[in-house]
């Protein structure tokens, strides 16, 4: 049996299998099983073999990641100025060859050097807010993104691209939409969120096309109206390459954990598409009659906390009461169907439902219902239960936004002294007037 090489070494390996002798070259990862060797191939995929099937292993050097710096990159000053605001995520990640895990560690300069084609689209600045996975992002980071966007516009950028992990990308995009357009205004330029489902050193990565398309839209997209487009997301439109979707930050949601076209619209249509071909990039877009003025963005009060619950057989009043006692500012319950909660007891054998209804009616903080079904409206007028929910003070009737956009809207409203009756209003594209059945 050959000797196992150290993790991180680049090797050339020959192994015997059902198809005969096979040669592979790659970087050694921790073994997938005991007495197995696992290597990462150049194409981004891993292969594993039992050591007793390996006939030879030759070390050909250590793994040396591409750390080439952009240095002082020569840029075309005649191109539109775009600022890349870097927060982290898979689009800015690499494989840690000591563990085989994907970690967020790209610097802005590495991001630019990894996709040099973007220098042909825009005159770029890069700002680093952090190297965070998106599930670690909090409202304080929304405020930092807001400031970074405004500083970029004040410095002459026509657009910004925020590189962001995909898991909560749509939540941050909704938050910035309300910050810049919730009061009826618009940002001074285009705000584009992008990320990738697969890390940039994988052959199946969507990072390059997403970043190219995002910078292209930030530099060349239509003038911002503030209606649906205050902040947009640019991600793959399908499983294949060549087309990226431009979606409103208040109307899109991540619907799949791994697919490249994970981002899909909720109760609405895309703003446009960007096509990447050998001839360059081009775009289509829908028109808008909005004519808003540029306004200073609002911020989020980071002391506000919103507790979220899922309606169903295990929703009990003591959970909500504990959140109120802990100082939460509002309660959001993801209701079933049209927005219903377990608050009725027709058979007399579910006292928990009576307690829940009694607690909600006496609750001193707002109780909002969101849409557990994702698509479709919250309509509390269809059934008597919904009308009963309105009578005991539950808010949310008439909303058609995603639960995440509604969450950002509630936080924005509470931060800026707004009456929560605006939840059913359409401030910047979050509540679409027409719905598909």
Compute the distance between CA of residue 287 and CA of residue 303 in angstroms, rounded to an integer.
38
Cβ atoms of 435 and 377 closer than 8 Å: yes
404, 412 Cβ separation under 8 angstroms: no
Alpha carbon distance 16, 14 (integer Å) = 7
Compute the residue count for the chain. 437
289 in catalytic set: no
With vertex at residue 363, the alpha carbon angle to CA 361 and CA 366, rounded to the nearest 5 degrees, is: 100
CB 370 within 8 A of CB 396: yes
Closest CA to 409 of 85, 137, 142: 142
β-pairing verdict for 36-41 and 280-285:
unpaired
Active site residue 254: yes
Choosing from 81, 254, 409, 418, the catalytic residue is: 254
3-state SS, residue 339: coil
- Whole-number Cα distances in Å, 94 to 169, 205, 363: 19, 11, 48
Which is the catalytic residue, given 166, 168, 233, 399?
166
Does the annotation mark 286 as catalytic?
A: no
3-state secondary structure of 281: strand
Q: How far apart are CA 372 and CA 384, in angstroms?
A: 19
**Residue spans of beta strands (DSSP E) within 130-271:** 159-163, 190-194, 232-236, 243-248, 252-254, 263-265
Confirm whether 336 is a catalytic residue. no
Catalytic one of 38, 83, 87, 90: 90
Separation of alpha carbons 244 and 236, rounded Å: 4
Instruction: State the catalytic residue, choosing from 125, 163, 167, 409.
Output: 167
Catalytic residues: 90, 166-167, 254
């Amino acid at each position: 049996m050959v000797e196992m090489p150290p993790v991180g070494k680049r090797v050339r390996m020959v192994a015997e299998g059902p198809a005969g002798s096979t040669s592979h070259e790659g970087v050694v990862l921790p073994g997938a099983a005991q007495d197995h060797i696992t290597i990462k191939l150049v194409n981004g995929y891993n292969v594993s073999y039992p050591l007793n099937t390996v006939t030879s292993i030759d070390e050909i050097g250590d793994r040396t990641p591409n750390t080439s710096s952009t240095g002082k990159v020569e840029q075309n000053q005649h191109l539109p100025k775009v600022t890349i605001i870097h927060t982290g995520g898979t689009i800015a990640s690499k494989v840690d060859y000591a563990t085989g895990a994907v970690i967020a560690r790209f610097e802005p300069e590495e991001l630019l050097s990894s996709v040099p084609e973007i220098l042909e689209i825009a005159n770029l600045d890069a700002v680093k807010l952090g190297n965070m996975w998106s599930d670690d992002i909090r409202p304080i980071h929304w405020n930092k993104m807001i400031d970074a966007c405004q500083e970029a516009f004040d410095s002459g950028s026509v657009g910004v691209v925020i590189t962001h992990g995909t898991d909560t990308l749509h939540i941050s995009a909704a938050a910035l939409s309300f910050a810049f357009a919730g009061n009826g205004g618009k940002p001074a330029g285009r705000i584009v969120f992008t990320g990738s489902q697969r890390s940039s050193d994988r052959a199946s990565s969507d990072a390059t096309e997403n970043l190219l398309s995002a910078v292209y839209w930030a530099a060349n997209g239509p003038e911002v109206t503030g209606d649906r487009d205050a902040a947009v997301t640019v991600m793959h439109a399908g499983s294949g390459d060549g087309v990226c979707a431009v979606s409103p930050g208040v109307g899109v949601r991540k619907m799949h954990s791994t697919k490249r076209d994970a981002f899909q619209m909720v109760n609405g249509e895309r703003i446009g598409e960007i096509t990447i071909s050998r001839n360059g990039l081009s775009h289509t877009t829908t028109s808008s009659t909005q004519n808003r003025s540029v306004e200073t963005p609002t911020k989020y009060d980071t002391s506000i906390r919103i507790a979220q619950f899922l309606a169903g057989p295990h929703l009990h009043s003591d959970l909500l009461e504990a959140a109120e006692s802990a100082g939460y500012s509002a309660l959001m319950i993801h209701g079933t169907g049209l927005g219903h909660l377990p608050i009725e007891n027709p058979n007399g054998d579910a006292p928990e439902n009576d307690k829940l209804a009694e607690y909600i009616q006496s609750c001193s903080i707002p109780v909002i219902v969101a849409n557990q079904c994702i698509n479709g409206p919250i309509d509390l007028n269809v059934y008597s239960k919904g009308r009963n929910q309105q009578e005991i003070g539950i808010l949310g009737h008439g909303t058609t936004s995603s639960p995440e956009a509604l969450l950002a809207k509630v936080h924005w409203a509470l931060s800026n002294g707004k009456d929560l009756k605006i939840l059913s209003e359409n401030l910047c594209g979050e509540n679409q007037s027409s719905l598909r059945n």
